[in-house]
Structure 1
Amino acid sequence: MSLHLWWLYVTAVFLISATPGPNMLHVMTQSIAHGPRRALATMAGLMSAVLLCLIASALGLGALLKASPRLFDVLRYAGVAYLVWLGIKAWRAPVGGVGGVASRRSDRALYLTGLLTGLSNPKLIIFAAALFPQFIDPSRPFGTQLAILVISFVVIELGWQAAYALGGIKLACWLAPVNRQRLFNRATGVMFIGFGGALLGARA
C-alpha cells in the first residue's frame, strides 16, 4: 500500500468515524448511564465488531455480500430490527437518576450490547463490504496491509469513542432533572430508529 493510498484511507475513516452514528451515540449514552470507566466494556464490544467486520471483509465477505444481495438483505434486516429495538428501549428507559438501575448491568452485558450495536451499524457494514477492500493492493503483501488498515481504523475509532464518552460525562450533569432525562431518552430512541431506517435503505 502506498503512502498516498493510506492517507486517503485515514482521511475517509476519520470523517466516517467522526460523523455521529449508532456506535458513538451508544458510547455516549452508556457513559451517561454507567460512567466512563464502565463504558470501556461497551467500547471493547464496539471495537470487537469493527475488527470482525474488517477482517471478514478482507477475507472475502464483502465480495460475497455484493454477489448475493439476498444474504446482504438478511444481515441488513437483522441490523434494522436490532437498532429499532435499541430505539424502543431507549424511548422507554426509566428516568429519575442518571446511572441508577442501569448501573447494575454487568461488564459482560455492556460488552455484548456494544458488540451487537457495532455489528448492526450501517456505516460499518457498508464501509466494510464496499469500501474497505478497495484499499488493499493485491500486488503487495496481504497480511501487512491488513494489519496497517485495521490498526489505523481502531486508533481513529477509539479516539472518537473516547471523545464521545467524555462528552457523556458533561451531559450527565445537565441530565439531572427528570424532564431532561426523558427528553434525552426519547431523542436517543428516535435517533436509533432513524439509523435503522438508514440501514433499511442501504444497498450492497
Structure 2
Amino acid sequence: MPLKTWLLFVTTVFFVSATPGPNMLLAMTHGIHHGVRRTVATCLGLMCGLGLIMVCSVAGLGVLLAASERLFSIVKYAGAAYLIYLGVKTWRAIPRQLQAMTEDGHRHKPWTMFRAGFWVALSNPKAFIFFAALFPQFMDAKLSQGPQLAILSITFFIIEACWQFIYASGGARLAGWLNTARRLKLVNQLSGGAFVGAGLVLSAISRS
C-alpha cells in the first residue's frame, strides 16, 4: 500500500472515530461513572463488537474483489456516495443532550461493562455498511488484497482504541462541555462536514 494512501486513511479515520457516536458516548459515560481503569472492560467490549463487524465486512470485500474488479469499483463509488450522505445526515441531525446514567452495583462488574460495550457496538447495523464503504476507497484491486485489508484493519483498531480511551479519560469535562444543544449542533456540523469532505476527496481520487 502506498504511503500517501495510508496517510490519507489515517487522517480520515482519525476524524471519523472522533465523532461522538454511540460507542464513544458509552466510553465517555462509563469513564465518568467508573474511571478509566474500570472502563477498560467497556472498551474491550466495544472493540470486540467492532472486530466482529469488521471481519464480516472484510470477508465480503475479499470475495467481491476476487470476483470482479469492475464490481469492486462500483462499490467504491457507492461507498463515497454513502459517506457524503452520512455527512449530510449528521449535519442536519437534531442535537440531543446527553442523559446521565443511573447504575447500580451489579452494573459495575467488568463482565457486565464488557457486555454492554459489545452489544452497543453490534446494535448499529450501519457499521457493516460503513466498513464496506470506507475500506474500498483505499484499496487497489490490482494489488494483493490480504495485506491491504490487514493494514487498514490494524490501523483502524489502533485509532479507534485511542479515541475510546481519550473519551473515557476526559469524560467528565467533555460531557459538561457537550451538554448544551448549541455545542452539540456545532459538533454535528463539524462531523458532517468531515464526512462530506472525505466522500468528495475519495470519489475524486477514485476517478483519477
- TM-score strictly above 0.5: yes
User: Is structure 2 residue 38 aligned with structure 1 residue 38?
Assistant: yes
State the SS of the aligned residue for 2:140.
Answer: coil
Q: For residue 200 of structure 2, what is the aligned residue in structure 1?
A: none
- Offset of residue 105 of structure 1: 2.9
Q: For residue 132 of structure 2, what is the aligned residue in structure 1?
A: 129
RMSD: 3.7
Q: Which of the numbers 109, 113, 116 marks the counterpart of 2:112?
A: 109
Percent identity over paired residues: 48
Give the alignment's TM-score, normalised by structure 2: 0.60
- Offset of residue 107 of structure 1: 1.3
State the SS of the aligned residue for 1:140.
Answer: coil
Q: Contact (CA 8 Å) 1:32, 1:171: kept in 2 or not?
A: no
Q: For residue 194 of structure 1, what is the aligned residue in structure 2?
A: none
Structure 1 residues 104-145: Cα deviation after superposition (integer angstroms, max 9, x where no partner): 532111111101111234663442132223323232222211
Which runs of 5 or more residues in structure 1 are unaligned? 68-86, 95-99, 175-183, 188-204
Structure 1 residues 152-184: Cα deviation after superposition (integer angstroms, max 9, x where no partner): 111111111111111125579x7xxxxxxxxx7
State the SS of the aligned residue for 1:36.
Answer: helix
CA distance in 2, matches of 1:58, 1:93: 35
After alignment, is 15-24 or 137-146 more displaced? 137-146
Q: Contact (CA 8 Å) 1:33, 1:103: kept in 2 or not?
A: no
Q: Contact (CA 8 Å) 1:50, 1:118: kept in 2 or not?
A: yes
CA distance in 2, matches of 1:126, 1:142: 19
The one-letter code matched in structure 2 to 1:5 is T
The one-letter code matched in structure 2 to 1:107 is P
Superposition map of 1:151-190 within 5 A: 151-170=154-173
Which runs of 5 or more residues in structure 2 are unaligned? 65-73, 76-95, 182-208
The one-letter code matched in structure 1 to 2:7 is W
Q: Contact (CA 8 Å) 1:57, 1:128: kept in 2 or not?
A: yes
CA distance in 1, matches of 2:172, 2:106: 14
The one-letter code matched in structure 2 to 1:148 is I
The one-letter code matched in structure 1 to 2:154 is I
Q: For residue 2 of structure 1, what is the aligned residue in structure 2?
A: 2
Q: Contact (CA 8 Å) 1:23, 1:121: kept in 2 or not?
A: no
State the SS of the aligned residue for 2:117.
Answer: helix
Q: Contact (CA 8 Å) 2:54, 2:128: kept in 1 or not?
A: no
CA distance in 1, matches of 2:110, 2:145: 35
CA distance in 1, matches of 2:139, 2:25: 30
